[in-house]
Amino acid sequence: MKSDSYAVIRTGGKQYAVSPGDKIRVEKLPQNQGEEVRFGDVLFVKSGDQARAGRPTVAGAEVVGQVLRQMRDKKVLVFKKRSKKGYKKLQGHRQFLTEVLIKTVQAGN
């Protein structure tokens, strides 16, 4: 981590440990490129010597970021086969992602 403050946020069903200056790729968000995004689902915050864990979230804590771009991840191939049955199925999937630059971690009250 680059800074003395960091947080654990939850978005898209996943958890991310972030600090100011980090770039993260999260499941697609509705904001456009250049817009600000606020993550209010903060599970843990550490600022200086003070650390706070939420139950389940930290009250008043917020992480602010800026959307860098909307993108798609690499293709994942899903291959299913039943041996001796002649059944084969190949399917591809590319997940939509949003790349976010974390600007600030606000610890709240």
Convert 45-70 into a string of H (helix), E (strand) and C (coil): EEECCEEEECCCCCCCCEEEEEEEEE
Q: Looking at 1-109, list the stretches that DSSP marks H as alpha helix, in order from N- to C-terminal side.
A: none
Q: Which two tokens stand for residue 35?
A: 């817009």
Q: Is the pLDDT of residue 9 over 50?
A: yes
53-94 confidence digits (pLDDT tens): 989 999 999 999 999 999 999 999 999 999 999 999 999 999
**36-39 vs 62-72, strand pairing mode:** antiparallel
Q: What is the pTM of this model?
A: 0.84
